[in-house]
Amino acid sequence: MRRTRPTVAVTLALATGLVGVPAAASGTQRNVDVQLVAMNDFHGRVSLTSGGDSELVTAPGGDGAYGTEDDVVAEVGGAANVAATVRQVQTSFRGTAGGSAASFFVGAGDLVSASPFESSVFKDEPTIEVLNAMGLDVSSVGNHEFDRGTQELRRISAATDGRFSDDVTACEGVTVGVDGCFGTDEHAFSGARFPYLAANVLDTATGAPMLPPYQVFTTPDGSRIALIGVVTETTPTIVAPAGIADVRFVDEAEAVNRYVPELQADGIEAIGVLVHEGGEAEGPAALDPNGCDQLTGPIVGINDAVDDAVDLIVSAHSHQAYSCLLPVPGGQPRLVTQAGSYGRLVTDIRLTLDGETGDVDRSATYGAMNVPVTREASDARVQSIVDHWAGRAAEAGNAVVGTVTGDLLRARDAGGAPVRDDESVLGTFVANAQLAGARAVPELGEPVVAFMNPGGLRTDIPFASSPAGEGDGNVTYRELFDVQPFSNTVNSVSLTGAGIDAVLEQQFPSAARDSTLLLSTSDGFGYQYDPARAEGDRVFDCSITIAGVPVDPAGTYRVVANSFLIGGGDSFTAFTSGTGPVTGPVDVDTAVSYLAANSPLTPPVGDHAVLVSEPTC
């Protein structure tokens, strides 16, 4: 690719070229300019990112078409650079807006979890501290905010009354890495200083949202704008059910529409939505960070269903970048945006509030532009926070655990992008490690097979040296942690042979999930399948074997998986039919022990799931 780096001047010029309705002459001096700077799916990328996480296509190649080898690619990201970019676009806005103008920095969820080592190992307290220092004003929750359960979400969001105080004795006796008391005098943790919003996440005991449903902001002249926060309704299918047992998730648009009349009754007409759900741009210009080429997916339906009084929607979840004006049934076209992922972009959204009605005037300034987070400038305060946590993580993280003779990679499509509809070499390694780790704990029984979900594999382990410089073939603790950053435990349950078959059948599309998630399994397990067959009959029962012996549907087998899967995560509810559940070691610990005991490790072949049209059994 032709790699160039846009200058800050160009970035700011882009920020003024908003995609949307052009500005018109204001009819009153009382009109108010408002800016929202939005970020989503940050996933704890506080340090400088690398590889694909740090690359952003900013312009098409010489032929004017995206998706060619000549695409202009910029190196972007890093929390200190995000902070500087936010400050730059806010400064640009204030330089052209009136004295009553207001700017707010907002998020659309998944700001924490599925994070790199230096944040995740401290339960994302570093990311919350960084977001506080950035001046984040509000965020909706994302599905990953629920990875460690509602109690942990309440903790990091400072929603647990009395949890935090100046009395450090509250942390005495806890185990670092479990209870999260990692702060120092200079970096004491007191939770998010911004509200997390969750209008469609209802407490099962009270029926009220577990967190605030919306946040109202007031401009210097007293004008008000409200933001309602919701998360994808599918969250229960992609997080561990046990962690969210005290809440229920309702339709996103239904929740938004519930609060629109309440806000209007309070005299608020300018209303936006922060929704952790998104869409996919599928056309030839899909890589254009400010395009809206053939947008499809859940966000389109949400836009259609949300009350036409809602003035804009900031979306997330699909890790896509787009800036759209989508049609609204019975209303005016509406801004729908997303800023990709990992802090590579922020969205500069500019609005005009009518001085008489208080509503967003869509015939005046009304548009958005995704702005690259380039690396020309950084925020010194944020960088000092990142450096503190990176330093604390470095010693343990950069320790070499073992060696490999080749890459341990996730499954790939023909274009080289990671996919989840096939088992993988990395997944087999993790399953082998979890099985070995479980067998070392007598209380877990005598497990015979381990299963690993593809979504739990967050990055690869290449043979080539990491940026830490440990050398080719050497694998660090940080690399192993980054593969499984959720701190799940390795648990065991007893399943019948029929229960194992049910687990395998749930890999394929059904009413519960519209995509294929093919599990990786430990060596010695095998089966044949045909995805073209009818739902519930895609795995050939007679082909399921353990150590070459056919599985008896009526027999009982001890099986192993991470706590997310055992709890029915990713819609693998068949695991919950298991009996005698026992909690085992942390998943990354089994990978560390296994690699240390088996170095140099030759990447496993896998290929336990065999696609056939007719079984050989």
Q: pLDDT at residue 574 above 90?
A: yes
Q: Where does the pLDDT of residue 236 fall: very low under 50, low under 70, confident under 90, or very high at 90 and above? A: confident
Cβ neighbours around 234 below 10 Å, total? 18
Q: Where does the pLDDT of residue 388 fall: very low under 50, low under 70, confident under 90, or very high at 90 and above? A: very high
The string of pLDDT tens digits covering residues 34-58 is 999 999 999 999 999 988 889 999 8
SS3 for 91? helix
**What is the model's pLDDT at position 29?**
56
The backbone torsions φ and ψ at residue 332, rounded to the nearest 5 degrees and listed phi first, read: -80, 155
- β-strand partners of 314: 274, 337
Closest CA to 113 of 47, 198, 189, 44: 44
What number is the average pLDDT over the span 235-252? 90
- The answer to whether the beta carbons of residues 197 and 228 sit under 8 Å apart is yes
The string of pLDDT tens digits covering residues 174-197 is 333 333 456 676 887 888 999 999
Q: Where does the pLDDT of residue 108 fall: very low under 50, low under 70, confident under 90, or very high at 90 and above? A: very high
SS3 for 151? helix
**What is the model's pLDDT at position 362?**
94
CA–CA separation, 512 vs 503, rounded Å?
Answer: 13
Q: What crossing angle do the helices spanning 8-16 and 79-96 adopt, rounded to 10°?
A: 50
Higher pLDDT, 231 or 71: 231
How many Å is the Cα radius of gyration of the chain?
25
Q: pLDDT at residue 97 above 90?
A: no
Q: pLDDT at residue 170 above 70?
A: no
What number is the average pLDDT over the span 462-489? 91
Which contacts of 460-467 are long-range, i.e. CB under 8 A and separated by 24 or more positions?
460/407, 460/408, 460/409, 460/410, 460/418, 460/426, 461/404, 461/407, 461/408, 461/409, 461/426, 462/407, 462/408, 462/409, 463/404, 463/405, 463/406, 463/407, 467/50
**What is the model's pLDDT at position 5?**
36
Q: pLDDT at residue 23 above 90?
A: no
**What is the model's pLDDT at position 159?**
66
Closest CA to 331 of 303, 367, 292, 350: 303
Averaged pLDDT of the chain: 89
Q: What is the DSSP string of 396-449?
A: HHTSEEEEBSS-B---B-TTS-B-SSS--HHHHHHHHHHHHHHHT-GGG----E
CA–CA separation, 374 vs 371, rounded Å?
Answer: 9
CA–CA separation, 53 vs 467, rounded Å?
Answer: 14
What number is the average pLDDT over the span 59-85? 90
Q: Where does the pLDDT of residue 19 fall: very low under 50, low under 70, confident under 90, or very high at 90 and above? A: low
Q: pLDDT at residue 6 above 90?
A: no
SS3 for 529? strand
**What is the model's pLDDT at position 416?**
85
- Across 114-123, 292-301, 371-380, least confident range: 114-123
CA–CA separation, 12 vs 91, rounded Å?
Answer: 10
Token pair for 532: 């073209």
Q: pLDDT at residue 438 above 60?
A: yes
Q: Where does the pLDDT of residue 65 fall: very low under 50, low under 70, confident under 90, or very high at 90 and above? A: confident
**What is the model's pLDDT at position 63?**
79
Cα angle value 6/11/12 (rounded, 5°): 150
**Fold for domain 2-160+178-381?**
Purple Acid Phosphatase; chain A, domain 2 (3.60.21)
The string of pLDDT tens digits covering residues 111-138 is 999 888 899 888 899 999 999 999 999 9
DSSP 539: B
**What is the model's pLDDT at position 181?**
52
**What is the model's pLDDT at position 238?**
82
Closest CA to 295 of 272, 313, 309: 313
**What is the model's pLDDT at position 162?**
36
**What is the model's pLDDT at position 471?**
95
Contacts of 90 (CB under 8 A, 6+ apart): 35, 37, 103, 105
CA–CA separation, 133 vs 389, rounded Å?
Answer: 14
- Strand 556-562 to 449-452 pairing: parallel
Q: Where are the domains of the chain?
A: 2-160+178-381, 400-611
Q: Where does the pLDDT of residue 10 fall: very low under 50, low under 70, confident under 90, or very high at 90 and above? A: very low
- Across 302-306, 542-546, 584-588, least confident range: 584-588
The string of pLDDT tens digits covering residues 389-417 is 999 998 878 889 999 999 999 999 888 88
- The answer to whether the beta carbons of residues 198 and 210 sit under 8 Å apart is yes
Q: Is 559 left (phi over 0), alpha (psi -120 to 50) or beta?
A: beta
Contacts of 578 (CB under 8 A, 6+ apart): 493, 494, 495, 499, 559, 566
Residue 170, H or E segment: none
Q: Which of 174-183, 275-284, 340-349 has the highest mean pLDDT?
A: 340-349
**Fold for domain 400-611?**
5'-nucleotidase;  domain 2 (3.90.780)
The string of pLDDT tens digits covering residues 501-520 is 999 999 999 998 889 999 99
Q: pLDDT at residue 313 above 80?
A: yes
Q: Which of 10-19, 96-105, 429-438 has the highest mean pLDDT?
A: 429-438
Q: pLDDT at residue 566 above 50?
A: yes
What number is the average pLDDT over the span 532-542? 96
Burial 320-337 (b: 16+ CB within 10 A, else e): bbbbbbbebeeeeebbbb
Higher pLDDT, 509 or 165: 509
Give 264: exposed, middle or buried? Use CB within 10 Å, 0-12, 13-18, 19+. middle
Terminus-to-terminus CA distance in the chain, angstroms?
A: 49
Percent share of the chain, pLDDT over 70? 91
Q: pLDDT at residue 374 above 50?
A: yes
- The answer to whether the beta carbons of residues 77 and 51 sit under 8 Å apart is no
SS3 for 353? strand
